[in-house]
Amino acid sequence: MRSREFPARPHHRRALFLVAGAFVLLVLGGMTYACYSLSFLWTDETDEDVAHAIGEGGQTVRSFFEMDDEGEEALEADLELALGRVTAARAEAGALFQAEVDIIEGLRPRFEQSTRGGQAHIELGLEGGDMPLGRVRSSRSNAWRLYFSDQTPLNLTLSLGAAEADLDFSGIPLERLDLDCGMAKAAIRFTEANPVVMERLDIEAGLTEFAVRGLGFARFERFEFDGGAGDFTLDFTGDAFQPGASAEVDVGMASLTVLLPTGQPIVLDAPSSFMTKVEVPSAFVRLGDDRWGTTGADTDRSAFRLDIDAGPGNVQVRLVE
């Protein structure tokens, strides 16, 4: 005799919801504890706080690194900057790359440069590998000030570890950016159009607070964002979109805010569930199951296509001028 499957009874469904809720609370508790444990890496500090941290690990030593612009066709940069504060901006005229680095005594920065066939390559990081736990807190006083040429196309791989970063890539010709934020509290911005088309823009962010502004100026063809648990803001405003550009956003248990420019044709895929709340602009029309967009965008080959896959949490998509 064939067995029959009966629908779950109401109290069974309630039990499932209770189990799911308990799991969410457990994960949130673990995240809260982790954030509290690591909060000293990100909290705003006074000069007295920094001085005290320096005192725990010794004074800082300043180093300067520079690679002159000798007509190279492109620059490939591989930077692993771990703890401290990281900034990025344009270099002075005549320089391909510049760095001003403050490192606590006992640690040494490592800089390597080479050129082959018109292609320049640089590496920057710390000598050695692991850092003693006792030095982690004092390493907050590390500072990495980076400057890139606005004349030479750049392929940048940047690993931030648990640093705090403020990166201004405005006017820098980025052909590719691969950014691993780890647990870094990071802010990135583009305020003017990228001088070159960016083939790929890949960002990974773990348990952190992350925001990127002006992605519409980055001129990317393909954008991928992989976020763990945290508070993420992706601002796609800007008037330099590549026709047919696409973005894939995948986040775990997070609060995600997505800002989209008014006037840009957009197709949005964003599935929701009982644990994932997705808010879409009222101006969007439904194009299919879990698909929305601007009127006519589904047949517009130049439309920006955005795919969001989110875990438990809140996703807010807004149109801005």
Lowest mean pLDDT among 95-104, 136-145, 235-244: 136-145
Please tell me which residue, 163 or 132, carries the higher pLDDT value: 163
DSSP 244: T
Rounded CA separation 161/131 (Å): 12
CATH number given to 52-320: 2.160.20
The alpha carbon of 78 is separated from its chain's Cα centroid by a whole number of angstroms, namely 16
Please tell me which residue, 29 or 33, carries the higher pLDDT value: 29
Using the structure block, give the residue that is written with the tokens 């044709």. Answer: 265
As given in the structure block, the two tokens for residue 212 are 């990127």
Are 69 and 152 within 8 A, CB to CB?
A: yes
Ranges 48-52, 81-85, 174-178, most confident: 174-178
As given in the structure block, the two tokens for residue 268 are 């949005």
Lowest mean pLDDT among 48-62, 84-98, 166-180, 203-217: 48-62
Rounded CA separation 207/255 (Å): 12
The predicted structure's pLDDT at residue 162: 83
The predicted structure's pLDDT at residue 107: 87
* Residues 6 or more apart in contact with residue 191 via CB below 8 angstroms: 168, 170, 213, 214, 217
What would the pLDDT profile of 100-119 be if each residue is shown by its tens digit?
999 988 889 999 999 999 99
Sketch the domain layout of the chain as residue ranges. Answer: 10-41, 52-320
What mean pLDDT do residues 91-97 have?
Answer: 96
Rounded CA separation 24/251 (Å): 15
Rounded CA separation 169/141 (Å): 23
The predicted structure's pLDDT at residue 12: 42
Rounded CA separation 316/212 (Å): 15
Is the confidence at residue 48, as pLDDT, over 50?
Answer: no
Are 139 and 56 within 8 A, CB to CB?
A: no
The predicted structure's pLDDT at residue 39: 45
Lowest mean pLDDT among 38-47, 241-250, 251-260: 38-47
Is the confidence at residue 55, as pLDDT, over 60?
Answer: no
What mean pLDDT do residues 313-321 have?
Answer: 94
Using the structure block, give the residue that is written with the tokens 């601002």. Answer: 235
Mean pLDDT across the chain, nearest whole number? 84
The predicted structure's pLDDT at residue 139: 56
Neighbours of 22 (CB within 10 A): 10
Rounded CA separation 294/207 (Å): 33
What mean pLDDT do residues 134-139 have?
Answer: 52
Is the confidence at residue 240, as pLDDT, over 50?
Answer: yes
